[in-house]
Structure 1
Amino acid sequence: MTFELAPELQRDCIALADWPLCKVLLMNDSQYPWFILVPRINGLKEIIDLTDIQQKTFWLESAKLSELLRDVFNPDKLNVAALGNMVPQLHVHHIARFTTDIAWPKPVWGLHSPVAYSDEQLVELKKALSL
């Protein structure tokens, strides 16, 4: 069976890379460095739905993304969360937060309308992340 990304994630995100287990997405909101890991396995809702080996791979990929965000953006805090209340497909948000961002200290969800990345911003971001 071919992997299918939830329609909401397809609509709101830009695909950046496919790692061994996860698809790496960028939320198309330039107000925050906001990335999402999605294991490329259909039907998952929770991290515990992954096999033991898949969980280890997931956590390694999550750590890799977190380290990348810390190194590239130097945030005040990394927010890593798997909520799934609106999109049940297993996906884990990795957001570089700053005390100066427009939502601080509140969660980023639904506070402000998204501001899409320009083509130039995407080129620069991909270059900085080496993805």
Structure 2
Amino acid sequence: MQPQVFELALEFERDSIWLADWPLCQLRVQNDTNYPWFILIPRRAGVTEIIDLTEAEQNQLWRESGHLSVFLKAQFQAKKLNIAALGNMVPQLHLHHIVRYDTDCAWPAPVWGKFPAQAYSTQALQQLKQKMASLAIPS
């Protein structure tokens, strides 16, 4: 029996943009300028729940999530940082990290389905990538 190979869910390919590969996760940004919205996706095949990861992988996931969270809160001056692993629509394990402001268009409600996504322009995406370039890879 051959081991499964990690494949990114089509929804992530369609709706988000690759930023980096970290030791465990792929870091992506949701292609929606309404909110700074980042996604960590463990590069493990067939994983739908955090408990499906090994203990070492779970610890690495929390390290990467914590590292991203500290960076986002500081760089984006977040009023609140929403972190969620829902998976109702896309079962592939992933952690959303959404920077929230009391002035954002969905505040204080959850962001899902509230407003149509506003895609990043080439210039805005380049500026975001420059901001994210200082984010070191946690291990």
Shorter-chain TM-score tier: over 0.9
Find out whether 1:19 has 2:18 as its counterpart. Answer: no
| The one of 60, 63, 67 aligned to 1:64 | 67
Shift of 1:71: 1.4
Unaligned runs of 5+ in 2: none
Give runs of aligned pairs for residues 22-101 of structure 1, distance below 5 A: 22-101=25-104
CA distance in 2, matches of 1:42, 1:110: 28
Aligned length, in residue pairs: 131
CA distance in 2, matches of 1:33, 1:7: 21
Partner of 1:128: 131
Partner of 1:6: 9
CA distance in 2, matches of 1:2, 1:122: 29
Amino acid at match of 1:115: Q
Normalized against structure 1, the TM-score is what? Answer: 0.98
Amino acid at match of 2:96: H
Normalized against structure 2, the TM-score is what? Answer: 0.92
Partner of 2:118: 115
RMSD: 0.8
Unaligned runs of 5+ in 1: none
Query: What is the SS of the residue equivalent to 1:89?
Result: coil
Shift of 1:2: 3.2
